[in-house]
């Protein structure tokens, strides 16, 4: 009889949702020492790890699991994260912001404030080239939506080539070749040692001056000082940032007032208990049947 | 040997594009009395009509052809308009603005100006219901994109049911039934007698209070005073208007300062000579072969 502990600020909601699925043999416990299974925010699971002496499987309700893959933490259990549920959120966010910029929405609002019938031409996504830095579950969804908008898609990954909607893949040393000619660059990279400062000065210089950079991955992948400089010098069209090296961003950080930089405070995707519960239920049946779980995190890779 | 007159502010570009297609037997003329074919803006064609004594076919470079279907004008020629080329533009515009609102982009910008890490939750298009007032070539494109975003689609038309992506069609007296429960309403209606003030006070009252109204059709379909009232009283979430009863909108019009009303000055779609030339070439071959042309306007219906 597997015993589950809920370590989430939404734990009442999770309990209701999981109970209504009437999973066989599952029992809820509140004492960490009794729990074989845990579900919750990565930080909350990490804080409970020393007391989770029976832990065999933990389900993170987020995609990013940095607190749990930190080398100082135990790794004697199976960690699964949330995948396949954020692609739609990320698509809405990315294409929403690209359209916000192409359609000059702020200019239109300013013209309205001055009662000016101002017909500056809009841009279009059609025929543009988007580059995806990281093509996993979210990147695959982005590539598909980009195709619906008539775009060309380039993808940079370590080695995988999952999505068939990516026109051209780049790996390894081809990072600057990947950057050349991009109209839009979207980073979906997780925080790992290998992704630190991948978007650095050289990368930013390789992008066309009109390019738009969107970061929905993690803040560590960006050289923030180089990004500010590129925007201030007009070497980059715009940046839309949902994630940052330090969150919340300190009040004195130059980002707050950098021109053509849009901040969205880590709101691009929302972890809905309804979505996560589906993943948990699917994996719970596999767990009971002794099958390998889905969405297993590789502690070494960090995702 | 068909003789074509170009009546467009882009006539040099059209001439280059059409010439490079090397159409058999086609000759360009500048004297209206010699022209059997005309291509251009509807107003320019209308102004030339009295002198176009040989006119057999006119290709409008716009979708809306009000100046030419006016009952005071001759109708002894075939009029074709631009179709199938604006769907992508309109899709980008409509879903761009819906995402602009759902993602609270203006709030995020205001928070940034006050250096506030403000994590209000974003909304989503997924699972929402969009209602298309008019489902022709543009509406069909919108329905398809709505499906890519996981939305429910309702359509209101006179009688046609062209798009298979529309979940439920409404006709005739079911206008208020169509309005009930819509999260978003998009009007793609052309200016005709039958579309005057279709979106009136009763229609606006039938919409949920949070609904967003987008008008990319023509301004005549809206009771503008009722729309202002609905927004002022919080009976409508927002309105995004590209078209208006009178354009440019007079400086004293209440629209300029109505809350949650976004004006875009008839910029949602751009008529690209490259796109229109393709339609013209396709139809030119049909014309020469004596086949019926595509995209023929019904002078009575007005579209």
The pLDDT tens digits for A104-116 are 999 999 999 999 9
Report the alpha-carbon distance of residue A4 to residue A28 in Å, rounded: 5
Q: For chain A, what are the domain ranges? A: 3-84+271-288, 87-263
Q: Residue B3 class from Cβ within 10 Å (0-12 exposed, 13-18 middle, 19+ buried)? A: middle
| Catalytic option among B19, B116, B247, B300 | B247
Which among B222, B220, B175 has a CA at the least distance from the CA of B199?
A: B222
Q: What confidence tens digit (pLDDT) does each residue in B29-45 have?
A: 999 999 999 999 999 99
- A and B: number of Cβ contacts within 8 A: 126
Q: Do A122 and B267 touch (CB under 8 A)?
A: yes
Of A91, A251, A267, the CB nearest to B121: A267
State the average pLDDT over residues A142-165.
97
Provide the Cα torsion A288, A293, A299, A303; round to 10°: -140
Cβ-based neighbours of A299, under 8 Å, separated by 6 or more: A69, A75, A79
Contact B126 A248 (CB under 8 A): no
What integer pLDDT is reported at residue A185 of this predicted model? 98
Where chain B has pLDDT below 50, the residues are none
Q: Give the span between the Cα atoms of B190 and B194, in whole angstroms.
A: 9
Taking CB atoms and an 8 Å cutoff, what residues of chain B touch A273?
none
* Neighbour-count burial for B238-249, b at 16+ CB within 10 Å, e otherwise: bbbbbbbbeeeb
**Are the beta carbons of A99 and B96 separated by less than 8 Å?**
yes
Q: CA separation (Å) from B44 to A166, B275, B277, B296?
A: 45, 19, 17, 19
Tell me how close the Cα of A246 comes to any Cα of chain B, in angstroms: 12
- Whether A265 sits inside 8 A of B108 (CB atoms) is yes
The answer to whether residues B148 and B170 touch, using CB atoms and an 8 Å cutoff, is no
Q: What gap in Å lies between CA B54 and CA B56, rounded to an integer?
A: 6
Q: Determine how β-strand A3-7 pairs with β-strand A37-40.
A: parallel
Residue of A46, A83, A141, A218 with catalytic role: A218
CATH superfamily entry for domain A3-84+271-288: NAD(P)-binding Rossmann-like Domain (3.40.50.720)
- Identify the pLDDT of residue B291: 96
Whether omega before B239 lies within 30 degrees of 0, making that bond cis, reads no
Of the listed A92, A116, A161, A247, which one is catalytic? Answer: A247
pLDDT at A50 exceeding the cut of 90: yes
Q: Do B105 and A111 touch (CB under 8 A)?
A: no
pLDDT given at position A46: 98
pLDDT in the model for residue A1? 86
CA B182 vs CA B103, B159, B236: distances in Å: 19, 20, 11
Read out DSSP for B70-111? STTS---SEEE---SSSHHHHHHHHHHHHHHHHTTHHHHHHH
Find out if CATH 3.40.50.720 is the number for domain A87-263.
yes
Which residues of chain B neighbour A148 with C-beta distances below 8 Å? 145, 148
Q: How far apart are CA B28 and CA B34, in angstroms?
A: 10
Check CB contact under 8 Å for B93 and A122.
yes
How many Å apart are CA B37 and CA A72, to the nearest integer?
78
Q: Is the pTM of this model over 0.80?
A: yes
Active site residue B126: no
Order across the sheet with B238-241: list the strands: B168-170, B152-156, B129-133, B184-187, B212-215, B238-241, B261-263
Percent of chain A topping pLDDT 70? 100
pLDDT of A78? 97
Cα atoms in the 13 Å half-sphere on the side-chain side of A117: 14
Same fold, A3-84+271-288 and A87-263: yes
Q: Is B231 helix (H, G, I), strand (E, B) or coil?
A: helix
Could you tell me the pLDDT band of residue A193, with boundaries at 50, 70 and 90? confident
**Residue B141 appears among annotated catalytic residues:** no
| Per-residue model confidence as pLDDT tens digits over A53-93 | 999 999 999 999 999 999 999 999 999 999 988 999 999 99
Q: Which of A24, A57, A53, A19 is nearest to A40 (CA)?
A: A57
Largest CA distance in chain B: 69
């Amino acid at each position: 009889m597997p015993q589950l502990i809920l370590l989430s600020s939404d734990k009442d909601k999770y309990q209701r949702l999981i109970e209504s699925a009437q999973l066989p043999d599952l029992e809820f416990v509140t004492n960490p020492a009794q729990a074989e299974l845990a579900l919750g925010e990565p930080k909350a699971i990490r804080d409970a790890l020393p007391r989770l002496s029976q832990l065999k499987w933990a389900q993170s309700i987020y995609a990013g699991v940095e607190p749990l893959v930190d080398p100082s933490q135990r790794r004697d259990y199976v960690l699964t994260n949330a995948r396949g549920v954020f692609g739609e959120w990320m698509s809405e966010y990315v294409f929403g912001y690209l359209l916000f910029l192409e359609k000059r929405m702020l200019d239109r609002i300013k013209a309205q404030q001055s009662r000016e019938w101002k017909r500056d031409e809009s841009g279009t996504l059609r025929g543009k080239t988007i580059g995806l830095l990281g093509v996993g579950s979210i990147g695959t969804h982005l590539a598909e939506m980009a195709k619906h908008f008539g775009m060309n898609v380039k993808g940079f990954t370590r080695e995988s080539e999952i999505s068939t909607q990516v026109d051209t893949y780049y790996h390894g040393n081809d990072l600057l070749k990947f950057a050349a000619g991009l109209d839009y660059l979207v980073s979906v990279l997780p925080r790992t040692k290998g992704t630190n400062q991948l978007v650095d000065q050289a990368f930013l210089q390789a992008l066309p001056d009109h390019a738009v950079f969107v970061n929905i991955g993690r803040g560590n992948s960006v050289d923030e000082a180089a990004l500010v400089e590129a925007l201030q010098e007009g070497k980059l069209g715009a940046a839309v940032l949902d994630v940052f090296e330090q969150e919340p961003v300190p009040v004195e950080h130059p980002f707050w007032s950098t021109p053509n930089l849009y901040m969205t405070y880590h709101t691009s995707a929302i972890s809905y208990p309804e979505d996560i519960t589906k993943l948990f239920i699917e994996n719970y049946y596999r767990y009971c049947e002794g099958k390998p779980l889905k969405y297993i995190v590789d502690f070494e890779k960090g995702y």
